[in-house]
Amino acid sequence: MNNQQKSHFCKLSIIFIIFFSYNLTTQDYTIKLLEKYSPFADKIINYTLKDSSSFEKLAFMCDAFGHRLSGSDSLNKAIIWLEQEMKKAGLENVHLENVMVPHWVRGNEFCKLIKPYQRHLSFISLGGSIKTPKEGITAPVLVVKSFEDLEKQKNNVQGKIVLFNYDYKNYGQAVQYRFHGAEYAAKYGAIASLIRSATPNGMNNPHTGSMGYNDSIPKIPHGALTVEDAALIERIQKRGQTPVITLYMESDTLPDKLSYNLIGELKGSEAPDDIVVIGGHSDSWDVGSGAHDDASGCIGTLQAVRILKELGLRPKRTIRVVAWVNEENGMRGAWAYAKAHQNEKHVLAFEWDSGVFPPSEIRVSPDTLVHKLKIFEPLLSKIDSIKIIKGGFGVDIIPLTQAGVPTMSLNTEDHGQYMWYHHSPSDTPDKINPYEFNKCIATIALIIFIYADL
């Protein structure tokens, strides 16, 4: 925590001390705060839940610009459109900040089973992978279930394409294979590597995402098969046959390109230099149209502030909306923002990058903040059964977290469904329920307003 954050915390603490110094009991204090913010809550909730513009804007962003991979023209066009929407919403200080972003491109790609029979395989390169030679790579496949299984079979890896067909448990586990699979396989001599797509529910959607290389280990092409086709290859191996596949990828990393973080503000009435920064990320993967991930976060946080402005609710502190760029494959926007604004007084950093489902939890850090905000649960319960709990995470707010800024994020009750769509062709607006989207926006508008106004 730096001095600025310490200062904000001192202020929050002073508020509490003042209440107690007037010999108010905790219960009295809670009642006072709830009485104060209850009319604001009603206003925000009633207005937001009847609003139809949020889903319309999200769908337009997805439909008109399509996918928004860093370095693409469609991303920059979407950001420029979003800038106009911020201006139309009446936000102040709306502007773009230059960010040089990675420019990885997919190109043509395919994967096919050659032996024991010929089959098209549904395949997608993972973001950042190198290409194959022009003639592709044709090689036998070795299916492994885990890194441990790979280790056991390390003498059988040379010259093979390793397929990690792990039993899916959760995204965190799956990401290990997506991010590190090529490195682990290449260590033992694999010439390419594949993973089962990182999803509990394949439905023939290949899921992409970021991957990494280790400079001390040869770089090999790395991609994902659908759940269906990974299972097919494993069944063939289990029958005692050796599957042979041909893999062709043109994916490449071109020179960095200019893109932008987008910023707009609702200036605070009493402490405009105290900044509550909220946002989502403007970029998506180059499949689907990034409706959940993360047009919802960009549009949702913008709409939350637009609604506060339309209701004439200007809190004491400034609420700044940021559409960070390049969350998916580089975090360049996050680091650029943190650097450009390092001398400002951030009193909170909030990112919404968890998809649109019924809001269930507001997660906050540090832990002391949980107790301070928990008293507002009765107001949030007017929207849904929402708890204030420990946590608070977003990739784009990692740099601010590291600088000691308190964090907040929204969790939703997705029953695992977010990962059905995540980084796949099926992340499209039809997967978003407009009413649930409004409930999330109302939640954010309310808790952020209270936080910025305390």
Q: Which residues bind a second copy (CB under 8 A)?
A: 59-60, 63-64, 66, 116-117, 119, 122, 201-205, 227-228, 231-232, 235-236, 239, 288, 420, 424-426, 428-430
Please say which residue, 58 or 276, places its beta carbon nearer to a second copy: 58
d(CA 454, CA 145) in angstroms, rounded, equals 51
Report in angstroms how near the CB of residue 9 gets to a second copy at its nearest: 45
Q: In angstroms, give the least distance from the CB of 79 to a second copy.
A: 16
* DSSP-H helix ranges across 366-433: 367-374, 377-380, 398-402, 418-421
Give min distance, CB of 148 to a second copy, in A: 23
Q: Is 327 a catalytic residue?
A: yes
Residue with smaller CB distance to a second copy, 118 or 155: 118
Nearer CB in complex with a second copy: 100/114:
114
Residue (of 178, 183, 152) closest to 164 by Cα position: 178
For 243, the 3-state DSSP assignment is coil
Q: Which is nearer to a second copy, 301 or 426 (CB)?
A: 426
Q: According to DSSP H, which parts of 166-295 are helical?
A: 171-187, 227-238
Strands 222-225 and 123-125: antiparallel
Q: Which CB atom, from 202 or from 358, has the smaller least distance to a second copy? A: 202
Exposed/middle/buried for residue 146 (C-beta within 10 Å: 0-12, 13-18, 19+)? middle
Q: Which amino acid is at 237?
A: Q
What single string gives the DSSP state of each residue in 294-331?
A: IIHHHHHHHHHHHHHHHTT---SEEEEEEEES-TTTT-
Helix, strand or coil for residue 272?
strand
Cα–Cα–Cα angle for 448, 450, 452, rounded to 5 degrees: 65
Give the residue with the Cβ less far from a second copy, 94 or 143.
143
Confirm if 222 and 211 have CB atoms less than 8 A apart: yes
- CA–CA dist 220, 213 (Å, integer): 9
Shortest CB 427 distance to a second copy, Å: 9
Q: Position 261: which residue type?
A: N
CB of 59 to a second copy, least distance (A): 6
Minimum CB separation of residue 77 from a second copy in Å reads 10
Beta bridge partners of 115: 244
* Dihedral (Cα; 69, 176, 280, 422), 10-degree rounding: 70
Which residue out of 183, 327, 328, 351 is catalytically annotated? 327
Nearer to a second copy, 201 or 253 (CB): 201
Provide the minimum distance between the beta carbon of 99 and a second copy in the complex, in angstroms, as a whole number.
25
Nearer to a second copy, 67 or 439 (CB): 67
Quote the least distance from Cβ 216 to a second copy, whole Å. Answer: 37
R_g (Cα) of the chain, nearest Å: 24
Most distant CA atoms of the chain, gap in Å: 81
* Closest distance of CB 122 from a second copy, Å: 7
Give, in order, the Cα–Cα distances in Å from 431 to each of 155, 185, 290, 437.
45, 35, 11, 11
Q: How many CB atoms lie within 10 A of CB 2?
A: 12
* 347: number of Cβ within 10 Å: 26
C-beta of 1 vs 203, nearer to a second copy: 203
CB 162, CB 185: distance < 8 Å: yes
Q: For strands 161-164 and 109-115, give the pairing.
A: unpaired
Hey, which residues are catalytic here?
327
